[in-house]
Chain A
């Protein structure tokens, strides 16, 4: 919740997509547009490639992002363990909750999240539209024998310089148990297309994790006005406030998203067969087995990020105010 957190966001948005750019994109566009038209924005890629050398400097511009990483993983871990219990699997490996799963990180940047996902057991693929990010990420992982070794039982981590639509074309739908995309969507010109592509890659019963910034006066003040223009903590031009997405907009998107997103615009299913990812809301909140939203705040006096506790008073207010994590599960078929 500090302007510093702008730095984190700067760090994540290495993957940039563009459709026909409309200056004042309204959230309604989340529901619009075919999935195959998003493409990479070369200007923004150049912008982040310049920053990429700094990815692993824990005291540099991305310092706060490094600190945010454990909280993201904590959320992913909690949610995965919870859902495995929900599915009646009790032989869960607590140390490696992603064991034997195919995991994708879209917009992996320097590989911060990917390395952690791989350590938790996931067969992890990180993709990024910036070649230099992929180079940095691969170089960093190569120092760590625990990540690069392909010996059975060991972590595996690979990186690819590609976009989510190309990956979808290459691998086909339903390829990953877990798809993550952290602080990317607010930099995408066609978030609906982007989300649809990410969702299509998720296997039935699989998980999609997102993190982003809500579009509020507070987030404007902290991430753009303060962080970029006044304090220059983050290179100006990093954020576009109108692109920020509010939690209810995400919820709304998945309320409408069919269990099989690829089929949605083509053949209209009869209403009784339609199974959206989020089936209904309980007073604006989805069932915890379908989707969940958690705010994350920076505690300056601890120098740490914190996941706003479930059920804490004002928990939803936090999420709506600034940074939040979002999880949604694709229905089984």
Chain B
């Protein structure tokens, strides 16, 4: 590699996915940062494909994310949301989640009681907004193109990262495939699951593959009738093989995320699209035993080389429906005539899928992984991870991208604060609040989703029994719901506490701080911090009391 003179840069962002672009956008939106820092973003792929993406109004990209209200508010604040084509997005007003074995069901919407635990129980018209990833990424690029303060380097790969040799600690030198070398005060890894920045920083990642694959596709269906709510309800059924989710995009199109076993996903995708369509409809409706049977049929047909025809499958499905005594007038029936007055229970299920947008079916392996730290240290100093580089999560709560945007907002605030106080944005001191704010937040959501996945994958008697009586269901769903609803709700969870709140937050924070301290500080100092903390608590209580008066 030709060695060129390193170019000085304050922030080098590796990765032009949603997280990297959002960070670049946020930085460019803030004058104090824009005027003082030189920011470069490096992306391996061709960003002009995203920039020029222009799907017609009736087709949709298969990568879709539910953007929570918190994420949307952040995007609005930094001036990005105005560039999103809102006509292509769809509000979610209600979510219906049920157990595939016991049928225990939980519904939540912005109207229901549970929403009242939101800090300022103001009724929101939406819980989240379904948005194509490309729609968001294009908006981010438009925003960046409009203010031109971040240098975007696309079609260029980061080839290697080495530490500059210098007494007292060198900065990272980022070698690009075009021969350039960037010297980074702060190197941001927004480079996805296989993060080269994480490797350079020497940060280990903890996790496992789920042996589960997510099938995504854009689904077409009839519009809801005028007797029904519009297509603004998201549905998710937890099957032992994984959850299947139906996410509304428009009155006649919705997005599928179906987590299932890899061999089954492969078999389904190699079958006739009409077979996949029927299987999707069945997966939301038929009892679990029949689904298991049908899956076996599909697998067998693939291994025999005699692919099952859609006609055969439809007959099989309607026979199974009859043998389960599914009322043909009910929404669960797959033979019912879908014209006319809809069945009473129509809102309990997604509309019947009529076809799949050609070329939209694809699959992704799912995994759980969480980096041991978000900021590099020692030889890996001056590095920070955001988005999937820091964590990958099961998509069942639709939180992956939102967690990445949460990271970006927090890191952006940290950088802004450090710049305001004349700090070195690459220093551990400047970055530590970011890791503190995000690590446990993300961990909470991740472990709730992981637990849910495992709980629902179980067909063992006691677990199913527990699920059916609703104990576990409510417990576990509540944590995911809390994650979703909290993010869906107001942003007050993130506004800094006033002097008055400091005392009130003390107890909660103290618990967390103990957990945090254990990681880095010796037990001795932790003990002391605790002791002094008690003294402080009294003083703060006095402060809080006096302010209340």
Interface residues in chain A, defined as those with a beta carbon under 8 Å from any beta carbon in chain B: 1-4, 56, 58-59, 66-67, 69-70, 73-74, 77, 94-95, 115-120, 136, 139-140, 143-146, 222, 226, 231, 233, 297, 299-304, 309, 312-314, 318
**Cross-interface CB contact of A67 among B36, B418, B419, B429, cutoff 8 Å:** B429
A3-B528, A301-B512 given; name 15 further pairs at CB < 8 Å. Answer: A1-B532, A4-B525, A58-B428, A69-B423, A70-B423, A95-B419, A118-B422, A139-B167, A143-B170, A300-B530, A301-B513, A303-B436, A312-B499, A312-B543, A314-B543
Given the complex, which residues of A lie within 8 Å of B424, measured CB to CB?
Answer: 115, 119, 144
Chain A nearest CB, measured from B20 CB (Å): 23
Tell me whether B533 and A300 are in contact (CB under 8 A).
yes
* Complex CA distance for A226 and B36, rounded to whole angstroms: 42
Chain A nearest CB, measured from B257 CB (Å): 38
Scoring B420, B422, B436 by chain A CB atoms within 10 A of each residue's CB, the highest score goes to B422
- List, sorted by A's number, 30 A–B pairs whose CB atoms are closer than 8 Å: A2-B532, A3-B528, A4-B529, A58-B429, A59-B520, A70-B429, A73-B422, A73-B423, A95-B36, A95-B419, A115-B424, A117-B422, A119-B422, A143-B168, A143-B171, A231-B524, A231-B525, A299-B536, A300-B532, A300-B533, A301-B509, A301-B510, A301-B529, A302-B513, A303-B436, A303-B513, A304-B433, A309-B499, A312-B547, A313-B547
Instruction: Say yes or no: is B35 at the interface (Cβ < 8 Å to chain A).
Output: yes
Scoring A70, A115, A144 by chain B CB atoms within 10 A of each residue's CB, the highest score goes to A70
**Cross-interface CB contact of A1 among B429, B436, B535, cutoff 8 Å:** B535
Given the complex, which residues of A lie within 8 Å of B31, measured CB to CB?
Answer: 95
* Complex CA distance for A146 and B543, rounded to whole angstroms: 41
Instruction: Say yes or no: is B116 at the interface (Cβ < 8 Å to chain A).
Output: no
Given the complex, which residues of B lie within 8 Å of A301, measured CB to CB?
Answer: 506, 509-510, 512-513, 529, 533
Given the complex, which residues of A lie within 8 Å of B35, measured CB to CB?
Answer: 95
Tell me whether B421 and A77 are in contact (CB under 8 A).
yes
| Interface size class of chain B, counting residues whose CB lies under 8 Å from the partner chain | 35 or more
**Known contacts A2-B529, A74-B421: does B543 contact A313 (CB below 8 Å)?**
yes
Tell me whether B513 and A300 are in contact (CB under 8 A).
yes
Residue of A nearest to B545 (CB): A313
Task: Tell me which residues from 290 to 341 in chain B have a Cβ below 8 Å from any Cβ of chain A.
Answer: none
Tell me whether A2 and B32 are in contact (CB under 8 A).
no
Given the complex, which residues of B lie within 8 Å of A2, measured CB to CB?
Answer: 528-529, 532
Residue of A nearest to B420 (CB): A77
B262-301 vs A: 1/0 string, CB under 8 Å?
0000000000000000000000000000000000000000
* Complex CA distance for A3 and B432, rounded to whole angstroms: 21
Given the complex, which residues of B lie within 8 Å of A140, measured CB to CB?
Answer: 168
Given the complex, which residues of A lie within 8 Å of B422, measured CB to CB?
Answer: 73, 77, 115-120
Given the complex, which residues of A lie within 8 Å of B170, measured CB to CB?
Answer: 143
Given the complex, which residues of A lie within 8 Å of B436, measured CB to CB?
Answer: 302-303
Given the complex, which residues of B lie within 8 Å of A74, measured CB to CB?
Answer: 421
Chain B nearest CB, measured from A139 CB (Å): 5
Chain A nearest CB, measured from B503 CB (Å): 11
Given the complex, which residues of A lie within 8 Å of B536, measured CB to CB?
Answer: 1, 297, 299-300
Given the complex, which residues of B lie within 8 Å of A67, measured CB to CB?
Answer: 429
Task: Tell me which residues from 156 to 177 in chain B have a Cβ below 8 Å from any Cβ of chain A.
Answer: 166-171
Given the complex, which residues of A lie within 8 Å of B167, measured CB to CB?
Answer: 139
* Complex CA distance for A291 and B510, rounded to whole angstroms: 35
Tell me whether A233 and B421 are in contact (CB under 8 A).
no
* Complex CA distance for A77 and B539, rounded to whole angstroms: 27
Scoring B171, B429, B516, B535 by chain A CB atoms within 10 A of each residue's CB, the highest score goes to B429
Given the complex, which residues of A lie within 8 Å of B230, measured CB to CB?
Answer: none
Tell me whether A313 and B516 are in contact (CB under 8 A).
no
Given the complex, which residues of A lie within 8 Å of B517, measured CB to CB?
Answer: 300
Instruction: Say yes or no: is B417 at the interface (Cβ < 8 Å to chain A).
Output: yes
Residue of B nearest to A317 (CB): B539
* Complex CA distance for A309 and B496, rounded to whole angstroms: 14
Tell me whether B427 and A58 are in contact (CB under 8 A).
yes
Instruction: Say yes or no: is B377 at the interface (Cβ < 8 Å to chain A).
Output: yes
Tell me whether B32 and A95 are in contact (CB under 8 A).
yes
* Complex CA distance for A297 and B510, rounded to whole angstroms: 16
* Complex CA distance for A67 and B424, rounded to whole angstroms: 12
Q: Which 8 A-B pairs have the closest CB atoms?
A: A116-B422, A301-B513, A313-B546, A300-B529, A119-B422, A70-B421, A73-B421, A58-B428
Instruction: Say yes or no: is B8 at the interface (Cβ < 8 Å to chain A).
Output: yes
Chain B nearest CB, measured from A164 CB (Å): 23
* Complex CA distance for A299 and B517, rounded to whole angstroms: 13
Task: Tell me which residues from 108 to 157 in chain B have a Cβ below 8 Å from any Cβ of chain A.
Answer: none
Residue of B nearest to A155 (CB): B422
Tell me whether A70 and B417 are in contact (CB under 8 A).
yes
Given the complex, which residues of B lie within 8 Å of A302, measured CB to CB?
Answer: 436, 509, 513
* Complex CA distance for A233 and B506, rounded to whole angstroms: 26
Tell me whether A303 and B516 are in contact (CB under 8 A).
yes
**Known contacts A1-B535, A56-B168: does B427 contact A66 (CB below 8 Å)?**
yes
* Complex CA distance for A226 and B528, rounded to whole angstroms: 9
Tell me whether B499 and A4 are in contact (CB under 8 A).
no
Chain A nearest CB, measured from B134 CB (Å): 35
Given the complex, which residues of B lie within 8 Å of A119, measured CB to CB?
Answer: 36, 419, 422-424
Given the complex, which residues of A lie within 8 Å of B542, measured CB to CB?
Answer: 313-314
* Complex CA distance for A74 and B530, rounded to whole angstroms: 27
